[in-house]
Amino acid sequence: MAPDYTQAAAKEKSELTATRRGLAASSMTQKTAIVTGAANGIGRAVALALAADGWDVAALDVDEPGLARLPEGIRRVSCDVADEGAVQAAFGATAFDRLDLLVNNAGIARPVTGPIEALSLGEWRRMTDSHLTGTFLVTRSAVPLLRKARGAIVNIASTRAFMSEPHCEAYAAAKGGIVAMTHALAVSLGPEVRANAIAPGWIVTGDPSGLSAADHAQHPVGRAGRVEDIVDAVRYLAGAGFVTGQALTVDGGMTRRMIYVE
């Protein structure tokens, strides 16, 4: 019997129409994002940029005064990401039923903890918990919501995961762990959820006037980084459907430059 091309064409047209309707409906759904460590610095810039782009953003941070300075349109949630109970409560407070993007940015921003022989176990855990354990706890709570939306995770690591100054063992270990966790998540959660990391270099989050010409000149691009550089990277990875398990270095070329003492 000859195939019924008319019937097949009608079926194909019906499926195409349904797909277009689905795409139209999904485009009308406001995208949702959670950004941790969003009261200051990189996290704040990311939260503000996503909100300006039309996202429904929940900002998590332990710094309540910093959260209070965010615009009213952003959901402000007080949360210590290293505290399991606090993370669970924070997800209840967001009231999201789906999640398109999780940006794990929270963590103590002072890399130097002193000589390792003088580093206490408590200080080690405080640093690693704020970055690595916090990323684990928030991601674990977010995964069911991310699966619903076929969403994305962007973890904020650091170039210190790959190179070091003295006395930064706890910070480097935490950021290196985030890079490793990122590719593990990509394999475990794909294809429903993509997971990538950003490794920022020297990003100026405060007043840039204190930087010298030499500070800028040591970067192959001719300047130190700005929070907007990381915002651009988050935007890219949020929508890069064929990119997962990667650590995107955003450092103005610093990690590619040989430096010799003269």
Residues forming beta bridges with residue 200, ordered by sequence position: 250
Q: Which residues pair with 78 in a beta bridge?
A: 61
Distance from chain centroid for Cα 126: 20
DSSP assignment letter at 161: G
Residue whose C-alpha is closest to residue 80's, from 134, 29, 116, 31: 134
| Order of strands, sheet of 194-200, starting from the edge strand that comes earlier in the sequence | 75-78, 56-61, 32-36, 101-104, 152-156, 194-200, 247-250
Look up 171 and say whether it is catalytic.
Answer: yes
Residue 171 to residue 225: CA distance in whole angstroms: 20
Return d(Cα 60, Cα 54) in angstroms, integer: 18
Contact status, residue 44 vs residue 66, Cβ threshold 8 Å: yes
Q: Which residues are identified as catalytic?
A: 171
